[in-house]
Chain A
Amino acid sequence: MTASASAATGSQYDIELRKVTLLFPRPDGTGNLPVYENFDLVVDQGSFTVLLGPSGCGKSTLLNIIDGLLSPSRADALNVLGRDLRRDPDVTRQCAYVFQNPRLLKWKTLRGNVEFGLRGLNVQPRARWPELMDKYFGVVGLRDFMDYYPHQVSGGMQQRAAIVRAFVNEPRILLMDEPFSHLDEITAAELRRELVRLWTQDDVRRTVVFVTHDITEAVQLGQRIIMLTPRPAEICFEQIVDLPYPRKMDDEGFVEIERTLRRVLVERAGVPA
């Protein structure tokens, strides 16, 4: 699988989308619904970018486009890690996805599920697998549960295992689609802390694109928060968050940013306060 030289772009961004248009056929057959229309997005290497917006505005769809799972109807540029996604689809082996639900195979142990991901992406040499699994299962506190089946552990632990499945491939880009929205607040808070720890501990910072509809979560995690409007999705506001990690929710700067975002949400996205 040699990628052609023409797939290399000179892009200095980890993710560069230019004029992306995505149309879905309307259910009643009367033409198409524009989900994205001439949409631009760039993401710097090693940054933590949060896509913030109400449910249903197509944020997950954007992740699917970046991961090469969905082809846009039109795009001027679709560059991931400096390569044209359309010519070198293999580059997305450097991306790992964490879904809203754990999406674990119920007939495999947690260890087996992580191996499934390792085998699929095939970016880690097999000799390193045991050491990698030991490390990342350890970081999330699941080392003693590696040989359990999903139904034998809690929802929070299942989602941790899904995070391990992504991290163990040491991906350059991490795509996360509201991964904590289906968990109770306590577990979600724990996992947010663990995520930040995992992300800040790595020698080479991974690029994270994190989707959420929760403003507080966005400010807790993101360096750059991009607010999207519903279809056709547009960037209506961008907020840089310069606070150090781990962030405190009662910190003045934190609260100020939250307030700003809430105000914008009311003004631009038409959500009542």
Chain B
Amino acid sequence: MRNRVAQAGSLVAVLLVWAAISALVGRNIIPTPLDVGPELGEIVSTGRFVGPLTESLTRTFIGFAVGFAVGLAIGIATAKVKWFAVATGPLMNIVLFAPTLVVIFLGIAIIGTNLISIAVITCIAVAPNVAIYMRDVMRDFDPDLTAMADSFRASAGQRIKDLYLPYLIPSILAAARIGFSMSWKVIMLAEVFGFAGGLGFQIRINYGIYNLTALLAWLAVFVIALLLIEQLIRGTERAIVRWQP
């Protein structure tokens, strides 16, 4: 009960912080929630949000799917196969520190503003983080359970099905949640810097004409959509993990 109140209070806190900042700086510089609200309402009610949202989402799903699959595979392989971990170590570090701006610019210049480019950019930006997360999760697997499985001579197939998969699924979902929001932020960046269409594109346009109200309204669309998707994934996590105390 107290948690619900705190949650609601937290949402109110967001709006209050925003309103305070706006009051501090001046509302013609930073619009208040009351200015942005109607703009947001207009975008939503006229359905103007559908096009850019769908475009961004499509790109994000594709980019995320590629980046997540690659990251998952690498992460698990790194945890289980010693030489693979050694071989991919330096390469992972290099990719981890690659500046996002450069990755986007190179992607656009070399591959273009198409979905392949999206997939590559997102992969480079997201896969290493997912890989490291999954690798750490795999490493945390209770060695006592492994020893128990050894003593009962469990086959590889049995281990995957009864040991690793049930252990990994909650973590995979959590990684998906984190990875998805990471992917979408990268896509937004890409749309601001060159890809046409999508929410990032709308933000770029509105920055160009210094329309901060509209910019914030489109940001709100992004934030709300992201929130809904994350809740969806969290719901799936809760539904699947029935065995937790």
CB distance from B163 to the nearest CB of A (A): 7
**Considering the chains assembled together, what is the distance between the CA atoms of A116 and B144 in angstroms?**
15
Query: Using Cβ atoms and an 8 Å threshold, which residues of chain A touch B147?
Result: 69, 99, 103
- CB-based contact B148/A108 at 8 Å: no
Which residue of chain B has the shortest Cβ distance to A107 in the bound complex?
Answer: B166
CB distance from B38 to the nearest CB of A (A): 50
Query: Using Cβ atoms and an 8 Å threshold, which residues of chain B touch A149?
Result: 243
Query: In B103-158, which residues have CB < 8 Å from any A CB?
Result: 144-145, 147-155, 158
> CB within 8 A of B153: which of A121, A152, A165?
A121
- CB-based contact A116/B158 at 8 Å: yes
Q: Does A119 contact B (CB under 8 A)?
A: yes
Which residue of chain B has the shortest Cβ distance to A112 in the bound complex?
Answer: B162
Query: Using Cβ atoms and an 8 Å threshold, which residues of chain A touch B150?
Result: 69
User: DSSP majority for the B interface?
Assistant: helix
Which residue of chain A has the shortest Cβ distance to B163 in the bound complex?
Answer: A105
- CB-based contact A67/B151 at 8 Å: yes
Query: Using Cβ atoms and an 8 Å threshold, which residues of chain B touch A106?
Result: 243
Q: Does B193 contact A (CB under 8 A)?
A: no
- CB-based contact A151/B158 at 8 Å: no
Which residue of chain A has the shortest Cβ distance to B245 in the bound complex?
Answer: A151
**Considering the chains assembled together, what is the distance between the CA atoms of A67 and B150 in angstroms?**
10
- CB-based contact B243/A151 at 8 Å: yes
Q: Does A48 contact B (CB under 8 A)?
A: no
**Considering the chains assembled together, what is the distance between the CA atoms of A111 and B110 in angstroms?**
57
- CB-based contact A107/B151 at 8 Å: no
> CB within 8 A of B154: which of A103, A119, A152, A165?
A119
- CB-based contact B158/A69 at 8 Å: no
Q: Does B167 contact A (CB under 8 A)?
A: yes
**Considering the chains assembled together, what is the distance between the CA atoms of A70 and B40 in angstroms?**
66
**Considering the chains assembled together, what is the distance between the CA atoms of A26 and B61 in angstroms?**
51
Q: Does A120 contact B (CB under 8 A)?
A: yes
Query: Using Cβ atoms and an 8 Å threshold, which residues of chain A touch B149?
Result: 120
Q: Does A232 contact B (CB under 8 A)?
A: no
CB distance from B233 to the nearest CB of A (A): 20
Query: Using Cβ atoms and an 8 Å threshold, which residues of chain A touch B148?
Result: 97, 99, 103
Which residue of chain A has the shortest Cβ distance to B142 in the bound complex?
Answer: A103
Q: Does A122 contact B (CB under 8 A)?
A: yes
- Beyond A67-B151, A117-B152, A149-B243, whether A101 also contacts B162 by CB under 8 A is no
* Chain B window 210-245, contacts with chain A (Cβ cutoff 8 Å), 1 for yes, 0 for no: 000000000000000000000000000000000111
**Considering the chains assembled together, what is the distance between the CA atoms of A1 and B65 in angstroms?**
42
CB distance from B167 to the nearest CB of A (A): 7
> CB within 8 A of A121: which of B152, B162, B163, B167?
B152
**Considering the chains assembled together, what is the distance between the CA atoms of A116 and B148 in angstroms?**
11
CB distance from B244 to the nearest CB of A (A): 8
- Beyond A116-B162, A119-B158, A151-B245, whether A105 also contacts B145 by CB under 8 A is yes
Query: Using Cβ atoms and an 8 Å threshold, which residues of chain B touch A107?
Result: 166-167, 243
- Beyond A106-B243, A107-B167, whether A101 also contacts B153 by CB under 8 A is no
Q: What 7 new A-B contacts, CB under 8 Å, besides A67-B151, A151-B245?
A: A69-B147, A97-B152, A99-B144, A103-B147, A120-B153, A121-B152, A151-B244
Q: Could you list which residues of chain B lie within 8 angstroms of chain A, going by C-beta atoms? A: 144-145, 147-155, 158, 162-163, 166-167, 243-245
Contacts A/B (CB < 8 Å), 18 sampled: A69-B147, A93-B153, A96-B151, A97-B152, A99-B147, A101-B144, A103-B145, A103-B148, A105-B145, A105-B166, A107-B166, A107-B243, A108-B166, A116-B152, A119-B154, A122-B153, A151-B245, A152-B245
